[in-house]
C-alpha cells in the first residue's frame, strides 16, 4: 500500500512537471508568427510514415542509420513494458500481463531485453564514433559544452536503465521458483533467464525481493527523468520529429515566401492597382524580414526544437566545407537558444524586458535590447549560397535556409545594410534591368551573329 501511494505521488509529480514543460515548449514555439502551412494531409502523413517512422533520410548513410534504428525500436518497444509498470504500480499487482498473455508475454519481454542490449551496444558505438573516431561534424565550434555533454549523457541514462531492467527481470526469474503465487511465470526470458541465476543465484528470498524492487524503481524513475530531460535536450527529436515532418512545407523548394506588402506597394508604384491594399497597411515604420524569433514563423521555431544536432546539414554546406563561419546547424541551435533566453525572461516575468513597463510582459510587449543578430552574425548570413544542401540533408525535414533568408531580408530591407558588393548589383538591376550594368542592347549577341 505504501508503495502504491509513493508510486502515485512520484508519477503525478513527474508527469505533472513534464506536462508543464511541454506546455512551455508549445508557448515558446508560438512566440513565432502564425503561418498557415498549406498542402494536403495525405502527402504529410506519407512524410511522417517514410521520414519520421521509416527514417528514410537516415539511410543515406547506412552504418549510423542501422545502429540508430536499434535505439529507436528499443525505445518504441519499451513503451509496451511501461504500460505494465503503470498498472502494477498503481494497483499493487505484479506483472499484470504475464498470466494474461502467456507465451506472447515471454516473447515481448525477451524481445525488449534483446533490443535493449543491442541499443546499448549501438549507443556505445555511437559514443566511440563521436569521441574516438572524431567524426568531424561533431567537432564544430557550436558543439562545445552542453551540446556535447547532452550527446554523451544519453549513454549514462541507457546504462542505468539497463541495470534497472536486468536486476528487475533477473531477480524475478529466481523469485518465480520461490514464490510462484506472487511471481507469475514469465516463461524463459532471452537474457534474464541465464543472467539472473548467474548474477543473483544463491541469494535468499528477501534479498532478491529488494533487488527486484530496486530494479523496478530504477526503471520507472529513469523513464521519468528521461521524460523531463527531453525538453532540455536534442533528444526531443524522438517526439518532435513527428510533428516536424508533418508540418514540413510542401511548396516547391525553390519558392521563397512572397511578401504581399511589398508586392502591393511596388504594384501601386507601377500603377498596376493594389493601391487600396497598400494604403490599408498603414504601419508607420514597417519592418521586413526577421530580426528576432518573433518575426520567424512558428515552424522555424519548431524546426529549432526538433534539431538533433547531428550536423548532416553542416557537413553538406559548401560554405562550411570551405571554412566559412556559416554552419546551418548553428543557425538552428541559435534560434533555439535565443528562444530559451526569451522564454526564461517570460517565465520569470522579468519586467526589465517589457517594452511598456505598465503592461504585462508578453510576446508583443518584449524588448530585452537583444536580437537574433546577437547570436547569428551577418558574416554567416552572407556566406550562404542558397544551395539547399542543408535542406536536403536534414533527416527530420528541418529547413535552415528559410531563417537565413528571412534575416537577410531584415538586414537589407529594414537596416539597409549588407555586403557593399551587392550595391552595384542592386543598382544595375534597378536602373538597367540587368544583373550587370551594361550599355549595350540585350540582344546584341544575336545582332552580332546575324550581322544585323
Residues that bind another protein (CB under 8 A): 252-256, 258-259, 262-263, 265-267, 269-270, 272, 288-289, 316, 318-319, 321-326, 379-380, 382-389, 391-392, 405, 408-413, 418-419, 421-422, 424-426, 429-430, 433-436, 438, 440-446, 449
Part in contact with ligand SF4 (CB under 6 A); list of ranges 24-32, 85-93, 312-320, 365-373: 312-320
Question: Rounded to the nearest whole angstrom, what is the least distance from the CB of residue 379 to ligand SF4 in the complex?
Answer: 13
Told to check if 184 binds ligand SF4 by CB under 6 A, we report no
232 binds, among another protein, ligand SF4, none (CB under 5 to 8 A by kind): none
Part in contact with ligand SF4 (CB under 6 A); list of ranges 46-54, 165-173, 307-315, 355-363: 307-315
Q: What interhelical angle do 192-200 and 146-178 show, nearest 10?
A: 80
Report the half-sphere exposure of 444 (CA within 13 A, side-chain side). 5
Q: Determine the length of the chain.
A: 452
Q: What is the DSSP letter of 34?
A: P
Which three cell numbers mark 319? 560554405
170 Cβ contact partners less than 8 Å away, ≥ 6 residues apart: 192, 195, 196, 197, 199, 200, 211, 215
84 binds, among another protein, ligand SF4, none (CB under 5 to 8 A by kind): none
Residue 183 vs 410, nearer CB to ligand SF4: 410
Residue 170 vs 311, nearer CB to ligand SF4: 311
Told to check if 401 binds ligand SF4 by CB under 6 A, we report yes
Residue 235 vs 409, nearer CB to another protein: 409
| Pairwise CA distance, residues 146 & 111, whole Å | 34
Question: Rounded to the nearest whole angstrom, what is the least distance from the CB of residue 227 to another protein in the complex?
Answer: 36
| Pairwise CA distance, residues 340 & 202, whole Å | 53
- Label residues 427-439 b or e (16+ Cβ within 10 Å = b): eeeeeeeeeeeee
Told to check if 328 binds ligand SF4 by CB under 6 A, we report yes
Q: What interhelical angle do 237-246 and 298-306 show, nearest 10?
A: 140
Told to check if 307 binds ligand SF4 by CB under 6 A, we report yes
359 binds, among ligand SF4, another protein, none (CB under 5 to 8 A by kind): none
440 binds, among another protein, ligand SF4, none (CB under 5 to 8 A by kind): another protein
The Cβ of residue 270 has, within 10 Å, a number of other Cβ atoms equal to 9
| Pairwise CA distance, residues 185 & 197, whole Å | 15
Out of 265, 309, 402, 411, which residue is the one contacting ligand SF4 (CB under 6 A)? 309
Told to check if 406 binds ligand SF4 by CB under 6 A, we report no
- Write out the binding residues for ligand SF4, residues 355-394 only, by CB under 6 A: 384-390, 393-394
Residue 58 vs 173, nearer CB to ligand SF4: 58
| Pairwise CA distance, residues 305 & 333, whole Å | 8
Nearest in space to 7 (alpha carbons), one of 229, 223, 231: 223
| Pairwise CA distance, residues 349 & 343, whole Å | 10
Question: Rounded to the nearest whole angstrom, what is the least distance from the CB of residue 400 to ligand SF4 in the complex?
Answer: 5
Part in contact with ligand SF4 (CB under 6 A); list of ranges 116-124, 190-198, 306-314, 350-358: 306-314
| Pairwise CA distance, residues 92 & 5, whole Å | 10
The Cβ of residue 135 has, within 10 Å, a number of other Cβ atoms equal to 15
Q: Please give the backbone phi and psi of residue 33, each rounded to the nearest 5 degrees, phi first.
A: -75, 150
178 binds, among another protein, ligand SF4, none (CB under 5 to 8 A by kind): none
394 binds, among ligand SF4, another protein, none (CB under 5 to 8 A by kind): ligand SF4
Told to check if 301 binds ligand SF4 by CB under 6 A, we report no
Residue 39 vs 424, nearer CB to another protein: 424
The Cβ of residue 298 has, within 10 Å, a number of other Cβ atoms equal to 19
Nearest in space to 372 (alpha carbons), one of 32, 22, 27: 32
Which three cell numbers mark 254? 525553390
Told to check if 304 binds ligand SF4 by CB under 6 A, we report no
Nearest in space to 425 (alpha carbons), one of 410, 436, 439: 436
68 binds, among another protein, ligand SF4, none (CB under 5 to 8 A by kind): none
Q: Mask 331-350, x = binds ligand SF4 (CB under 6 A)?
A: -x------------------
Contacting positions for ligand SF4 (CB under 6 A): 307-313, 316-319, 326, 328-329, 332, 384-390, 393-394, 396, 398, 400-401
Amino acid at each position: 500500500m505504501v508503495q502504491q501511494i509513493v508510486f502515485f505521488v512520484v508519477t503525478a509529480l513527474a508527469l505533472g512537471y513534464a506536462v508543464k514543460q511541454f506546455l512551455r515548449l508549445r508557448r515558446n514555439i508560438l512566440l513565432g508568427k502564425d503561418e498557415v502551412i498549406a498542402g494536403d494531409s495525405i502527402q504529410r502523413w506519407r512524410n511522417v510514415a517514410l521520414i519520421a517512422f521509416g527514417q528514410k533520410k537516415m539511410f543515406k548513410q547506412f552504418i549510423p542509420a542501422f545502429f540508430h534504428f536499434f535505439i529507436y525500436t528499443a525505445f518504441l518497444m519499451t513503451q509496451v513494458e511501461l504500460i505494465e509498470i503503470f498498472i502494477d504500480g498503481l494497483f499493487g499487482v505484479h506483472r499484470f500481463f504475464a498470466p494474461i498473455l502467456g507465451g506472447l508475454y515471454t516473447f515481448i519481454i525477451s524481445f525488449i531485453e534483446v533490443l535493449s542490449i543491442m541499443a546499448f551496444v549501438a549507443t556505445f558505438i555511437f559514443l566511440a564514433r563521436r569521441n574516438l573516431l572524431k567524426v568531424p561534424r561533431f567537432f564544430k565550434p557550436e558543439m562545445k559544452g552542453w551540446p556535447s555533454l547532452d550527446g554523451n549523457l544519453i549513454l549514462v541514462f541507457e546504462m542505468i536503465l539497463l541495470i534497472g531492467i536486468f536486476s528487475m527481470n533477473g531477480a524475478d526469474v529466481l523469485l518465480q521458483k520461490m514464490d510462484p503465487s506472487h511471481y507469475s511465470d514469465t516463461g524463459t526470458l532471452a537474457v534474464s533467464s541465464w543472467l539472473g541465476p548467474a548474477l543473483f543465484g544463491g541469494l535468499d528470498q528477501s534479498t532478491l525481493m529488494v533487488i527486484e524492487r530496486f530494479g523496478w524503481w530504477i526503471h520507472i524513475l529513469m523513464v521519468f527523468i528521461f521524460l523531463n530531460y527531453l525538453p532540455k535536450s536534442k533528444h526531443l527529436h524522438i517526439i518532435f520529429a513527428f510533428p516536424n515532418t508533418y508540418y514540413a512545407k510542401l511548396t516547391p523548394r525553390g519558392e521563397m515566401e512572397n511578401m504581399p506588402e511589398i508586392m502591393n506597394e511596388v504594384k501601386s508604384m507601377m500603377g498596376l492597382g493594389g493601391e487600396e491594399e497598400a494604403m490599408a497597411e498603414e504601419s508607420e515604420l514597417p519592418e521586413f524580414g526577421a530580426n528576432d524569433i518573433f518575426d520567424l514563423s512558428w515552424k522555424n521555431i519548431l524546426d529549432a526544437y526538433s534539431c538533433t544536432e547531428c550536423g548532416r546539414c553542416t557537413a553538406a554546406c559548401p560554405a562550411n566545407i570551405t571554412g566559412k563561419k556559416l554552419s546551418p546547424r548553428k543557425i538552428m541551435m541559435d534560434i533555439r537558444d535565443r528562444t530559451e533566453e526569451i522564454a526564461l525572461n517570460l517565465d520569470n516575468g522579468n519586467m526589465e524586458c517589457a517594452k511598456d513597463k505598465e503592461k504585462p510582459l508578453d510576446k508583443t510587449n518584449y524588448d530585452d535590447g537583444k536580437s537574433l543578430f546577437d547570436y547569428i552574425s551577418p558574416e554567416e548570413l552572407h556566406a550562404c549560397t542558397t544551395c539547399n544542401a542543408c535542406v536536403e540533408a536534414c533527416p527530420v525535414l528541418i529547413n535552415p535556409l528559410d531563417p537565413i533568408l528571412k534575416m537577410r531580408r531584415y538586414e537589407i530591407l529594414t537596416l539597409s545594410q549588407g555586403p557593399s558588393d551587392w550595391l552595384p548589383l542592386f543598382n544595375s538591376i534597378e536602373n538597367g534591368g540587368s544583373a550587370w550594368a551594361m550599355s549595350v542592347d540585350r540582344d546584341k549577341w544575336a545582332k552580332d551573329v546575324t550581322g544585323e
